[in-house]
Amino acid sequence: MGPKRVPATGMMTLAWLVASPVAWAGDCEAPYDLDTLADDMGAVESAVISDDSAAAEEAARRLQAGLACLDTPLPRVIAGRAYRALATGVVSVEPDTATQWYRTAAAVDSGFVYTLEDLPRDDHPAFEAWRTALDEVAGVDEALIEGHVWSTGKFTVDGRRMSWPAAEPDMPHVLQRAHDGAVTTWIVDGISFPEEALIADASVGQPVVGDGPSSSLPVGVRPTVTVNKVESNNWPAERIALVGGGTAALAVGGVLYGLAWDKRSQFDASSKQADTERLAASTNTLTVASTATLAAGAGTVGFGILFFIVDGDPRPTLDLRF
């Protein structure tokens, strides 16, 4: 057996263990956590680079089935990579399915570029499928379900927090609701959201989705502009959103790092080359994801505190789109 490929696990000291009740929307016999997702994603990627299409398809099937059974929030930093792995694993046998998941991955992570470090040969179908998906998704905005708001809980679409029922049309999405400590997950087509995720409320104005400014005013109501002086002992909603969102990102990053550390321990104890390659891929994936999430969380918390450090003056608001 050749030498081990050492994963890039950082010497960080931060780790949380978060336990929560579980709820699934799919027909699931057991929960599917981020640890198992990283295993399956790493198995697909290892099989693809080895040009083992049968093994890649098998792991991709597990990944596809598991997405609907996720019992924890899917971080955006993992979503795009997971969708690409799923698509690449089945691109030779189910090109239509692969095309759909490539398009969602492109909507979530359009900056990725395939190289020969990811694919075994320059004529691999994933090269062209990914380029096509990027072209098709460019300029596509989310579509809204008008006259509705989310039901109780916090909702994400492919790891992105959505304040309104919205998603890119004509592609699959992982919709999740966090409520009372439990996470419910659905695989949806476009904006075909389940009834239990929505509340009909025609009186609520809908924002305009796209590049222009958003509006939450009902039809026929003319806006007025006022400047309110904020009391020094009050936190504006923007500050609460930034600090709260950043704190949540720190918690998720900690969970991911804990999973990465566990995979690193398994990697060190492994003796079979197949296991070491799989565990190395899982460890690196979780390490990169945890580092990015922790950095984003720390930055958001810091900005939320510092940007509003001077209270009592009118100030512009910051609209962050994740």
Q: DSSP string covering 212-246, please?
A: S----PPTTPPP-----PPPTT---HHHHHHHHHH
Residue 308 identity (one-letter amino acid): F
Q: What pTM, to 2 d.p., does this model score?
A: 0.60
Q: What is the pLDDT along the chain (322 residues), one digit of tens a residue?
A: 433 333 333 333 233 223 333 344 557 888 899 999 999 999 999 999 999 999 999 999 999 999 999 999 999 999 999 999 999 999 999 999 999 999 999 999 999 999 999 999 999 999 999 999 999 999 899 999 999 999 999 999 999 999 999 999 999 999 999 999 999 999 999 999 999 999 998 665 555 444 444 333 344 444 444 444 444 444 555 556 665 666 766 666 676 767 766 766 776 666 666 666 666 777 677 677 767 666 666 666 565 555 544 444 444 444 444 4
Element (H, E) at 167: strand 166-167
Cα separation, 85 vs 101, in Å, equals 9
Q: Are 16 and 252 in contact (CB under 8 A)?
A: no
Cα separation, 306 vs 106, in Å, equals 33
CA neighbours closer than 13 Å in the CB half-sphere of residue 191: 17
The candidate with the shortest Cα–Cα distance to 204, out of 248, 263, 164, is 164
pLDDT of residue 188: 96
Q: Are 98 and 88 in contact (CB under 8 A)?
A: yes
Q: Are 318 and 267 in contact (CB under 8 A)?
A: no
Q: At what angle do helices 95-108 and 125-137 cross, to 10 degrees?
A: 50
pLDDT of residue 230: 42
